[in-house]
Chains A and B, each alone.
Chain A
C-alpha cells in the first residue's frame, strides 16, 4: 500500500464516507424507496417476440378495470426527431431511444415495451397489463452478429445503409457503420515479422448486473411541472431525455438523483422515466415504476457480444512489427455498439508502428446495448492480449517482459490519434514483475496468466458550489450521482484545498434545479472532472475570504495569502496581523459583504489515460472443466488516489466483473430469439465463494492536468481480466481457447479436442 505523500493532510487518507451511516443503517433512499401520497404503481407490457410488426393494441379492457388510472402507448409519445445526442460515452438517436422506451410500429427484440399501465396497486397494474391485447405479425429474426451481416439476413431497419463506406450502398443492411483506425503500413510490418499469429475470437453479451433494478417516481402537476426521482448515472441526462422525448422545457423538469445501487454504464440512459411521466400526466397522480430482475435482463442493455479477428507479428528479439484487427460488434436493435472505442483501444497499450483496426456496428434482434465499464475495450483487448501471450510463449520471452519491451510510454503515438503524455503503463508492468504473486510456484492443473488494459478516461462538464456557513462549516454541492464513494473524495479535495477538517465539509449531490449541468457519472470522470470543479470552487471561496481579510486589515488583497485554513499577511511588509481562520471570517461575513461562497462551472480537459496490469492464477479441474481462480492481483496507475480504499474497491470490483465475463456470464437465446436466462440463477455473476481475495496495487504516476494528479480509475480494471483468465487457463491446460465464457462444458470440449 502506498504511503500518502507528506504534503497532503487529507488526500490519500481513508476517511469515513459522508453517506456511509445512511447506507449501513438502511436509511439511504434508493430509486424504489420513495412513496408519495396518492402514488400509483406502473407496470409495462412487453413484446413476446424477437421481431414483429405491431398490427393493433387494444387497451380498453385494461382501462376499464377497477383501480386502473392510466394506460399509455406510443400514441401518447410525440414523434421524436432522429437527431443524435450525447448519451453517456456514445451518441444516441432520439427516435431510436423513443422506440426503445415504447415501440411504435415494430418490436425489435423480446422484452421491448409496447404499453404501460398505472394503477392503485402493483398487483392491479400487473393484472391490467395482462389484459392489454396486442396483435403482432411475427417477422423472421436474427440474433448472431455474423448471421446478421449475411446478405439474406432479415433486415431490421429498411432505412439503414452502412455508413463509413463509399460509395453509399444501394441496399439496406444490418451493418450500421464501419470504422477504421490505422497507422504506418501493416503489410510491411508483417513482412518484417519472424512470427505471425492470427486468430478468431468470440465473446457473448454480458449484463452490467447492478443489484438495484431500474426505478423511478414521477409526478407531473396540472401546471406542466415535472418532478422525477430516480436511480441513474446522471440526473441531467434523465432531464435531457425526458425533455427531448416528451417535448417539455428542461426548466419545467426537476430530477432528483436517488442513491444509486450500481450502474456500471447501464444507467446512462432512460427506460422507465419517460413512461412514468406519461402515466403521471394522464393520471394526475405520482407514479412509481420499478423493474423486476427479469425485466432488467430482458429490457435493459447489456454490452455487445462480438466476433473478432486479430493478427499480430513480431521479430525474434521480441519487437512487435504489426497489429491488425477486425471487430464485429452486436449493437442490439439500434445502432450504437461500442465498436468505436473498442477499435481505438485495441492496440493502445503498445508502442506500435504499424496498426490497422476495422470495426463494424451491427444491429440484430437483441436488447439495445448500453455502456458497460470501458465500453468495448475489454472485448478488443481480450483478443489482442490473448495473442500477446501466445507470441510471448512462441518467442520464449516472459509475458510481462514482452509487454514491457513493447509497452506505450510518454511520447508514444497511438493509432487512434493521440500522442501519450505522462502515463504509467511501464510502471504497472514493473510493479507486476515485483509482486510476490508473480513468483509463487504453481501446482498441477494450475496456470498463471497476465494481461494489460488501457482506457482513455474522460473529463467533461461539471459544476460545484462551496458555501461557507456562518459557523465555519462548509456545504458542498455538485451534480454527479455518487456510485461508489465519490462524495468522500469531493469532501477530501475541498478540505485539502480549504485547509480545514474534512468533517467540516458536507458534500451533497443536489437536484437539477440546485446546481449547474453535470455530464453523466461515467467515463471514469467524476473524481477527475467534478473533483476539479470542487477544487476550483474552493479556490474561488478562498479568494473571497482573502478579500474579506484584506478589507478587515485594510490592505491590498495581494497582501493576503491563504495557508492552512487561515488568511495571513503575505509578508511582514503587509503588516502585523493575527491570521484569521475560515471560521472567524465566516462569523463576521455579514459585516464584510455578506455570505461567502465559491462556484465553478467547468468543462474539464486533460483526463489522464489509465493503464493496468493484472495477474491471475487458476486451477482447472480436468474432470469437470470447472475453473477456480486461486489468486488475483490488479495493478493500476491511478494518478493519485484521493481515497485509497475506494480506489482499491474499483480495482477489485472491476476485476470481479471481468472474471465473471471470462468464466460464467452470457446471454443465451432460444430458437425464437427469446432470452433463456433472465435471472441471477441462470445468469450467474460471481458470488463470494467463487473468488479469492483480490490484491489491489495502486501505482501513482500523477496526472499533470489535475490539481492533485487524479486519473480516472473505474473502467480500466474490467479490461485485463478477460485475457488474464484466458491466458491462465491456457497455461493450466495447454489449450488456447478463443471463445468466452470459459464455462465448464467449453473447457471440457477443448480438453477433449486436445486428446
Chain B
C-alpha cells in the first residue's frame, strides 16, 4: 500500500511523516513521530488517554486518521510545558498528587487545558462532565477535579 506524505505542525514545529491510509493519528504520533506521551487505552474513543488538540479542538487521536492532520496543527502533552517551565496544570497535578499511575495523565491534562482555555471559572460539575471522557481508574477523580479547579482559581488570581 502506498504511504501518504503528510505535512503538519506538531507542538509549534513543522513536521512531516509518511503514513498508511488506515493509520490513526495516535499510531502516527507514537510510532512514526516518536511522541509516545499520548497513550492508547482503548483505540475506540472511550478512554481519552489519546487526547490531543487538532486545530484547537480536543479530539481522541485514536479516532482521527494520520492523513487528516495534513495542513493542521497538533498539540500533544510533549508541547504543554514551556521548556523547563511546567504549565500551571502540570505543576498543580504534581503538588496535589492528582495522578497515581500517571497513564491517564497526559490525556487528562490536554483535556483540562482545553477546558481552562475556554472557561477559567468552571464549576465542579462542569469539570466532571468535561473530563467524563477521560477514564482514570486510580484516583477516583477527586484530586484531579480539585487540581483543575485550583489551577483555574490561581490563573484567575494571577
Name A's B-contacting residues (CB within 8 A): 14, 16-17, 19-21, 23-30, 32-33, 35, 123, 208-213, 259-264, 290, 292-293, 483-485, 643, 645-646, 648-649, 652-657, 679-681, 685-691, 693-694, 696
Contacts and interface: CB of A to CB of B under 8 A. Distances in A.
Interface string B96-119: 110111111110010000000000
A694 B103 contact: no
Contacts of B135: 211, 680, 685, 687
Given A21-B86, A26-B78, A694-B142, A653 B100 contact: yes
Contacts of B137: 208-211, 262, 264, 653, 657, 685
B62 to A, nearest CB: 10
Contacts of B133: 687
A452 B133 CA distance: 32
Most buried by A among B36, B97, B101, B129: B101
Interface in B101-158: 101-106, 109, 124-125, 127-129, 131-146
**Which residue of B35, B109, B142 has the most chain A CB atoms within 10 A of its CB atom?**
B142
Contact of A688 (B49, B90, B100, B141): B141
A25 B103 contact: no
Contact of A687 (B37, B78, B132): B132
From A23, A32, A212, A655, residue with most partner B Cβ within 10 Å: A23
B93 A24 contact: yes
A688 B43 CA distance: 20
28 contacts: A20-B93, A23-B105, A25-B86, A25-B90, A32-B36, A211-B49, A211-B101, A211-B135, A213-B40, A259-B102, A261-B41, A261-B103, A262-B138, A293-B46, A643-B97, A646-B97, A653-B138, A653-B140, A657-B140, A687-B132, A687-B135, A688-B131, A688-B145, A689-B128, A689-B129, A691-B140, A691-B141, A694-B140
A645 B134 contact: no
Q: Report whether over half of chain B's contact residues are helix, strand or loop; otherwise say mixed.
A: loop
Nearest to A485: B100
Contact of A261 (B39, B78, B124, B131): B39
A319 to B, nearest CB: 36
Contacts of B39: 30, 211-212, 261
A645 B96 contact: yes
The residue in A26, A35, A655, A689 that gathers the most chain B C-beta atoms within 10 A of its C-beta is: A26
Nearest to B107: A211
Contacts of B90: 24-25
A693 B94 contact: no
Residue of A35, A259, A483, A688 with most chain B CB atoms under a 10 A cut-off = A688
A656 B109 contact: no
B81 interface: yes
Contacts of A212: 39, 41, 101, 103
Nearest to A654: B140
Nearest to B136: A211
B41 to A, nearest CB: 4
B73 interface: no
Contacts, number: 184
The 7 lowest CB-CB distance pairs between A and B, nearest first, are A26-B37, A261-B103, A656-B140, A23-B102, A645-B97, A652-B140, A680-B46
A681 B42 CA distance: 10
A20 B94 CA distance: 6
B143 A649 contact: yes
Interface of B: 20, 22, 30-31, 34-44, 46-47, 49, 76-78, 80-81, 86, 90, 93-97, 99-106, 109, 124-125, 127-129, 131-146
Contacts of B40: 32, 213, 290
Nearest to A652: B140
A645 to B, nearest CB: 3
Contacts of B42: 293, 679-680
B94 A21 contact: yes
A426 B96 CA distance: 30
A262 B129 CA distance: 23
A25 B78 CA distance: 6
Q: Of B20, B46, B96, B137, which is in contact with the most chain A CB atoms at under 10 Å from its CB? A: B137
Contacts of A260: 101
Nearest to A29: B36
A48 to B, nearest CB: 20
B95 A26 contact: no
Contacts of A648: 97, 143
A26 B101 contact: no
Given A123-B20, A211-B137, A694-B140, A688 B77 contact: no
Contact of B100 (A28, A35, A484): A484
Which residue, of B37, B76, B100, B145, has the highest number of chain A Cβ atoms within 10 A?
A: B100
B103 A16 contact: no
Contacts of A28: 102
Nearest to A41: B31
A20 B98 CA distance: 10
Contacts of B106: 24, 26
A649 B124 CA distance: 18
A259 B103 CA distance: 9
Contacts of A264: 137
A680 B47 contact: yes
A20 B34 CA distance: 21
Contact of B41 (A293, A646, A649, A687): A293
A652 B139 contact: yes
Contact of B127 (A32, A293, A688): A688
A655 B47 CA distance: 20
A652 B102 contact: no
